[in-house]
């Protein structure tokens, strides 16, 4: 590291430590009072339900000749008899020249997840999807809509057949929005979008996330004040999705499924949060729904996987001495 960076780090040490605090010391009592006012203690009851859980994994290696990618996804069913894999899928390929490769691959993984949710949603009482609904829709405002793909829910991914990287990215976004609309239309009351690392600050408007404040300043099982939200049709590229979902209401809340566990954020179309806590806490491990934990472990691309992929594709070739390794 450059000597100047160490010098700057030492000079700003106190300021950095101050900024990494939860909130200013002088405000901690005030914030704690506000946080606890928005938190309702609730002791979950035992409740039996069946679930399907969907998650995906991704890996991208950007090279000078393009970006190599691998995505995978799995849908798992969980009931009183245990868990079983209903389906899985993996895609590999190269994006050239590779502009916005990471964004493209994330959208590709998300689309496979959503298609699995649509295909197997009838298999269980609840559909557990990793991540927030708002993030899956996105916040970009589209003036010109796409109608070409408005009935596309099959296994084929139209965007992958497009040669233009820019057009392919556009159609991939539209396909995601089409399947989101179809999924909500068919399984609205079953859908639970669960975020374990939400950065939202909508409840307290502080410089740290709402999740962080609830994590540090509460420890009981329960949930937060329920937030009613509205889907904005302008954020949907698909013309059909925009019409179907514009102004549709849904709800967000923060929950803790077991005492002292991490707080999760849930987006759902029902505001019966206590019923949701009952069914999720009944299958949670250390405060996280086991079906989502199991499927996440199945699809996660590990460091060992990356080493094997790199070896299979011979990506660790001899490099020029002066060329930084991170640019290889």
| For residue 97, cis peptide bond before it (omega within 30 degrees of 0) | yes
Per-residue pLDDT at 155 exceeds 90 = no
Q: How far apart are CA 231 and CA 114, in angstroms?
A: 18
Predicted confidence (pLDDT) per residue in 132-153, tens digit? 999 999 999 999 998 877 666 6
pLDDT band at 302 (very low <50, low <70, confident <90, very high): confident
pLDDT band at 317 (very low <50, low <70, confident <90, very high): low
In a domain, 318, yes or no: no
Q: How far apart are CA 206 and CA 216, in angstroms?
A: 14
Which residue reads 């964004």 in tokens?
103
The total of structural domains in the chain comes to 1
pLDDT band at 154 (very low <50, low <70, confident <90, very high): confident
What is the pLDDT averaged over residues 81-92? 94
In a domain, 28, yes or no: no
In a domain, 98, yes or no: yes
What is the pLDDT averaged over residues 314-325? 63
In a domain, 316, yes or no: no
**For 21-25, 41-45, 102-106, 313-317, which range has the lowest pLDDT when averaged over its residues?**
21-25
In a domain, 27, yes or no: no
Measured N-to-C along each axis, helices 210-217 and 28-37 cross at an angle, to the nearest 10 degrees, of 100
Secondary structure element (H or E) that encloses residue 115, with its range: helix 101-120
Torsions phi, psi for 289 (to 5 deg): -55, 125
CA-based angle 205:209:210, to the nearest 5? 75
Predicted confidence (pLDDT) per residue in 226-271, tens digit? 999 999 999 999 999 999 999 999 999 999 999 999 999 999 999 9
Mean pLDDT over the full length of the chain: 90
Predicted confidence (pLDDT) per residue in 202-228, tens digit? 999 988 899 999 999 999 999 999 999
Q: How far apart are CA 97 and CA 99, in angstroms?
A: 6
Q: How far apart are CA 230 and CA 86, in angstroms?
A: 32
pLDDT band at 323 (very low <50, low <70, confident <90, very high): low
Task: Tell me the two tokens of residue 181.
Answer: 């609309």
The better pLDDT of the pair 48, 155 is held by 48
Task: Tell me the two tokens of residue 205.
Answer: 């408007």
In a domain, 23, yes or no: no
What is the pLDDT averaged over residues 36-46? 96
Q: What is the pTM of this model?
A: 0.89
Q: Are 294 and 269 in contact, with CB atoms under 8 Å apart? A: no
Q: Which pLDDT score is estimated for 14?
A: 79
pLDDT band at 16 (very low <50, low <70, confident <90, very high): confident
Q: Which pLDDT score is estimated for 150?
A: 65
Contacts for 180 with CB less than 8 Å, ≥ 6 apart? 114, 136, 137, 236, 241, 245
Per-residue pLDDT at 1 exceeds 90 = no
Q: Which residues of 218-256 are buried (b: 16+ CB within 10 A; e: fewer)?
A: beebbbbeebeeebbbebbbbbbbbebbeebebbbbbbb
Predicted confidence (pLDDT) per residue in 109-130, tens digit? 999 999 999 999 999 999 999 9
Closest to 265 in 3D by CA, of 166, 96, 129, 74: 129
Half-sphere exposure of 118 (CA within 13 A, CB side): 22
Q: How far apart are CA 150 and CA 178, in angstroms?
A: 6
Q: Are 64 and 98 in contact, with CB atoms under 8 Å apart? A: no
In a domain, 44, yes or no: no
Q: Are 184 and 224 in contact, with CB atoms under 8 Å apart? A: no
Per-residue pLDDT at 318 exceeds 60 = no
Q: Which residues of 277-295 are buried (b: 16+ CB within 10 A; e: fewer)?
A: bbbbbbbbeebbbbbbbbb
Task: Tell me the two tokens of residue 280.
Answer: 């999720």
Per-residue pLDDT at 85 exceeds 80 = yes
Q: Which pLDDT score is estimated for 53?
A: 98
Per-residue pLDDT at 189 exceeds 60 = yes
Q: Which pLDDT score is estimated for 137?
A: 97
What is the pLDDT averaged over residues 40-51? 96
For residue 297, the enclosing domain spans 52-310
**For 3-12, 153-162, 280-289, which range has the lowest pLDDT when averaged over its residues?**
3-12
CATH label of the domain that carries residue 213: 3.30.2170
Contacts for 56 with CB less than 8 Å, ≥ 6 apart? 71, 72, 73, 74, 109, 110, 112, 113, 130, 299
Secondary structure element (H or E) that encloses residue 31, with its range: helix 28-37
């Amino acid at each position: 590291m450059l000597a100047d960076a160490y010098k700057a780090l030492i000079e700003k040490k106190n300021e950095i430590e101050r900024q990494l605090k939860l909130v200013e010391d002088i405000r901690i009592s005030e914030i704690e009072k506000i946080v606890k006012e928005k938190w309702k203690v609730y002791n979950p009851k035992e409740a039996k339900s069946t679930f399907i859980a969907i998650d995906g994994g991704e890996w991208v290696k950007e090279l000078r000749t393009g970006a190599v990618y691998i995505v995978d996804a799995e849908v798992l069913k969980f009931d009183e008899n245990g868990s079983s894999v209903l389906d899985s899928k993996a895609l590999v390929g190269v994006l050239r020249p590779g502009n916005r490769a990471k964004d493209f691959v994330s959208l590709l993984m998300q689309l496979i997840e959503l298609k699995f949710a649509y295909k197997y949603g009838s298999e269980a009482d609840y559909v557990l999807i990793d991540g927030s609904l708002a993030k899956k829709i996105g916040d970009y405002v589209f003036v010109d809509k796409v109608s070409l793909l408005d009935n596309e829910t099959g296994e084929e991914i139209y965007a992958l057949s497009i040669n233009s990287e820019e057009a392919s990215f556009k159609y991939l976004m539209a396909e995601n929005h089409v399947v989101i609309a179809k999924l909500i239309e068919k399984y609205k009351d079953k859908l639970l979008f669960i975020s374990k690392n939400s950065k939202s600050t909508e409840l307290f408007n502080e410089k740290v996330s709402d999740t962080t404040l609830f994590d540090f300043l509460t420890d009981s099982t329960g949930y937060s004040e329920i937030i009613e939200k509205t889907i904005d049709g302008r954020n949907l590229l698909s013309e059909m999705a925009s019409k179907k979902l514009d102004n549709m209401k849904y709800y967000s809340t923060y929950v803790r499924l077991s005492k002292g566990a991490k707080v999760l954020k849930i987006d759902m179309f029902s505001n019966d949060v206590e019923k949701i806590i009952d069914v999720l806490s009944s299958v949670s491990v250390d405060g996280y729904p086991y079906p989502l934990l199991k499927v996440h472990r199945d699809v996660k691309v590990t460091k060992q996987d990356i080493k094997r992929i790199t070896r299979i594709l011979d990506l660790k070739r001899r490099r020029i001495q002066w060329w930084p390794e991170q640019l290889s």
